[in-house]
Amino acid sequence: MVTDNLSDTLKKLKITAVDRTDDSLEGCLDCLLQALTQNNMETSEKIQGSGILQVFASLLIPQSSCTAKVANVIAEIAKNEFMRIPCVDAGLISPLVQLLNSKDQEVLLQTGRALGNICYDSHEGRSAVDQAGGAQIVVDHLRSLCSKTDPASEKLLTVFCGMLMNYSNEKNDSLQAQLINMGVIPTLVKLLGIHCQNAALTEMCLVAFGNLAELESSKEQFASTNIAEELVKLFKKQIEHDKREMVFEVLAPLAENDAIKLQLVESGLVECLLEIVQQKVDSDKEEDIAELKTASDLMVLLLLGDESMQKLFEGGKGNVFQRVLSWIPSNNHQLQLAGALAIANFARNDGNCIHMVDNGIVEKLMDLLDRHVEDGNVTVQHAALSALRNLAIPVVNKAKMLSAGVTEAVLKFLKSEMPPVQFKLLGTLRMLIDAQAEAAEQLGKNVKLVERLVEWCEAKDHAGVMGESNRLLSALIRHSKSKDVIKTIVQSGGIKHLVTMATSEHVIMQNEALVALALIAALELGTAEKDLESAQLVQILHRLLADERSAPEIKYNSMVLICALMGSESLHKEVQDLAFLDVVSKLRSHENKSVAQQASLTEQRLAVES
């Protein structure tokens, strides 16, 4: 029945559109709207096949009484994905955008709906609206309607907000950037504050924020509004999981900005997050577990800002710090993880680190690690080791942590096959033995450890682990200055790695290697001689001294090392064969005084020995 009527209506519409008799036109449009209500998809297909879309373009004129109905028909058919590009191709966008300047409430409403639906998930739709200049007009409407709370204005605001939400959901950033430049963010934030009772409007604002917050350039603008306060206020009101999830999705990208982190902390977000954690910690419902993770992750993110972190630490007396501390012994892996990461974030300056070590945090972290030696939750291991590594940075903490047994706790993870855990384990040990001769000697004589380090020095796929292993090998020698440590490293095959490390692209690593090699040459040259020779140390030193780009400290330490190698007959011969005198005498006029002095000393030494 509908189908026959529809074909007649479409034919009739074509004729009436030419005559422009509004009454019969209105009858046809009512028929179409009724058919669309009964079966939108089928009716839309018929409309597309009939070629009537092109006719609509000519009907979208401000002075006709049927304009709102035409826009309504377009809004209805554009609910179908397959109709959006045909609407663009039929030239409907430009006349629709013109209608956004209308004073008629119903025309604005239906036009906003039509454009919003055409933009939904359609790149072509958004581009056409962009070219017709639609966004600016809508932003201006939002600005002027923003403070009005009568039902009619709220309806319009919801439609325009929805349109911007669809318009800004673009994969490339150009449309979001354009909206940000139009200053839409302060308007939307104001709107959120005034209309927070209106659920539909609030949701659209949140989705639009989410789209815009992806862009770095938006964060500055967000930071200059009271978005933090508004979002926290909104968040406190939400009871349903889905609604809170929507607010979370905006909070997370915004909280990457340090200024906004501080605003969120000052607006009381942390208290909300702690409350969620408390409510959800014992639940095994999937959505509660998800929310616990989101809340605790966000908490850790807030602690990444220096100011927000220090504010929450409150000299280690803060309620927040205490609560986070209580997560570490909990039985919930997500909370253990967040607790350890939070401690690692609090441990970003010496004062905090010293306070935490004096107040027993190390024991808590070691207990946590102990619980994860066997079942091995890698993320928790990694987080706890990160925290210990940071805590070990202040000089006064090292001896305290060593006597608390941190080395033994950490060494339990030597067998780990997980590069992130290996990396943090190495970093923690390196921090602990810095200038701690006894600890360095003890570790350096630990054959299992040294063998594992030598193995990891070859971890070509994991540059971080490889670099840290080399640095720890060198540190064991530099801090212990022990013959036994050097012998252990020679026996485990570590010498070749220290020689390779001297050619690293990082000056700090080159230097650490050269200092360790100089100690080897001074203390145990006989033991290491063969390995130094087969690693081609002398040739490498020649290259470092001849290379213009070598840093002054590299040249200095290379010359110190050359002098130290003269005590070995075979290495001495290699030095003579390689015309070192030429390279060294050039360095006597080096701009760095220490390099120039060392060059004179080395030159004398080479001349005497030759």
Local structure of 593: helix, strand or coil? helix
Query: What's the DSSP call for residue 505?
Result: S
pLDDT at residue 311 above 70? yes
Closest CA to 369 of 343, 396, 346, 395: 343
The first and second tokens of residue 87, run together, are 């609407």
How far apart CA 336 and CA 332 sit, in angstroms, is: 6
CA distances from 52 to 15, 31, 70, 299, 339 (A): 11, 14, 11, 56, 63
C-beta separation of 105 from 68 below 8 A: no
CA of residue 448 relative to chain centroid, distance: 37
pLDDT in tens, 446-491: 999 999 999 999 888 899 999 999 999 999 999 999 999 999 999 9
Local structure of 268: helix, strand or coil? coil
Q: Per-residue b/e over 50-70, b at no fewer than 16 CB within 10 Å?
A: bebbebbbebbeeebebbbbb
pLDDT at 363: 96
pLDDT at residue 544 above 70? yes
330 sits in the region (left: phi over 0; alpha: psi -120 to 50; else beta) called beta
* Helix%, strand%, coil% for the chain, nearest 5: 80, 0, 20
Dihedral angle, C-alpha 118, 120, 123, 128, nearest 10 °: 30
Please state the rounded mean pLDDT for residues 109-137.
94
Q: Per-residue b/e over 358-377, b at no fewer than 16 CB within 10 Å?
A: eeebbebbbebbeebeeeee
Amino acid at 516: A
Amino acid at 3: T
**Which residue, chain included where needed, has tokens 């602690």?**
303
* Percent of the chain predicted with pLDDT > 90: 65
Range of the domain at 98: 1-121
Exposure of 5 in the CB half-sphere (CA atoms within 13 A): 14
pLDDT at 401: 96
**CA-based R_g, the chain, Å:** 36
CA distances from 116 to 46, 144, 269, 322, 580 (A): 22, 19, 33, 49, 77
Closest CA to 524 of 482, 494, 580: 482
Contacts 24+ apart (CB under 8 A), 595-603: 595/552, 595/555, 595/556, 595/559, 598/555, 598/556, 598/559, 598/560, 599/559, 601/559, 601/563, 602/559, 602/562, 602/563
pLDDT at residue 12 above 90? no
- pLDDT-derived band at 409 (thresholds 50, 70, 90) equals very high
Helices marked H in 174-285: 174-181, 184-194, 199-213, 216-223, 227-237, 241-254, 258-266, 269-280
pLDDT at residue 21 above 70? no
pLDDT at 512: 96
C-beta separation of 469 from 489 below 8 A: no
The dihedral of CA 244, 247, 249, 255: what is its sign?
A: negative
Q: Torsions phi, psi of 90, nearest 5?
A: -80, 0
The first and second tokens of residue 239, run together, are 């009871």
Query: Is 98 within the bounds of a domain?
Result: yes
481 sits in the region (left: phi over 0; alpha: psi -120 to 50; else beta) called left
Q: Which comes out higher in pLDDT, residue 48 or 15?
A: 48
| CATH, residue 61 | 1.25.10.10
- pLDDT-derived band at 24 (thresholds 50, 70, 90) equals confident
Dump the DSSP string for 359-393: TTHHHHHHHHHHHTSSS--HHHHHHHHHHHHHHT-
Q: Tell how many helices (H) and how many strands (E) occur in the chain.
A: 40, 0
Query: Is 74 within the bounds of a domain?
Result: yes
pLDDT at 16: 64
Q: Which comes out higher in pLDDT, residue 578 or 516?
A: 516
How many residues are recorded in the chain? 610
pLDDT at residue 1 above 60? no
C-beta separation of 232 from 268 below 8 A: yes
Query: Is 13 within the bounds of a domain?
Result: yes
How far apart CA 349 and CA 393 sit, in angstroms, is: 9
Closest CA to 561 of 581, 596, 537, 577: 537
Query: Is 324 within the bounds of a domain?
Result: no
pLDDT in tens, 140-196: 999 999 899 899 999 999 999 999 989 988 777 788 888 889 989 999 999 989 998
Dump the DSSP string for 409-439: HHHTTTT---HHHHHHHHHHHHHHHTT-HHH
pLDDT in tens, 484-515: 999 999 999 999 999 999 999 999 999 999 99
Q: Which comes out higher in pLDDT, residue 102 or 13?
A: 102
Query: Is 103 within the bounds of a domain?
Result: yes
pLDDT at 17: 60
Local structure of 131: helix, strand or coil? helix
**Number of domains the chain is built from:** 1
How far apart CA 387 and CA 108 sit, in angstroms, is: 57
Query: Is 77 within the bounds of a domain?
Result: yes
C-beta separation of 437 from 396 below 8 A: no
**Which residue, chain included where needed, has tokens 């590299």?**
554
Please state the rounded mean pLDDT for residues 427-447.
95
How far apart CA 407 and CA 399 sit, in angstroms, is: 11
pLDDT at 2: 46
- The contacts of residue 155 (CB under 8 Å, 6+ apart) are 109
Residue 408 buriedness (CB in 10 A; 0-12 / 13-18 / 19+): exposed
Q: Which comes out higher in pLDDT, residue 408 or 214?
A: 408
Residue 443 buriedness (CB in 10 A; 0-12 / 13-18 / 19+): buried
Please state the rounded mean pLDDT for residues 345-368.
94
- pLDDT-derived band at 561 (thresholds 50, 70, 90) equals very high
Please tell me the pTM assigned to this model: 0.80
Query: Is 465 within the bounds of a domain?
Result: no
pLDDT at 419: 93
Residue 396 buriedness (CB in 10 A; 0-12 / 13-18 / 19+): exposed
Query: Is 441 within the bounds of a domain?
Result: no
Please state the rounded mean pLDDT for residues 262-291.
91
pLDDT at 521: 95
How far apart CA 198 and CA 194 sit, in angstroms, is: 9
Q: Which of 94-103, 306-315, 484-493 has the lowest mean pLDDT?
A: 306-315
C-beta separation of 48 from 86 below 8 A: yes
Local structure of 349: helix, strand or coil? coil
* Percent of the chain predicted with pLDDT > 70: 97
pLDDT at residue 3 above 60? no
- pLDDT-derived band at 47 (thresholds 50, 70, 90) equals confident
**Which residue, chain included where needed, has tokens 């701690």?**
436
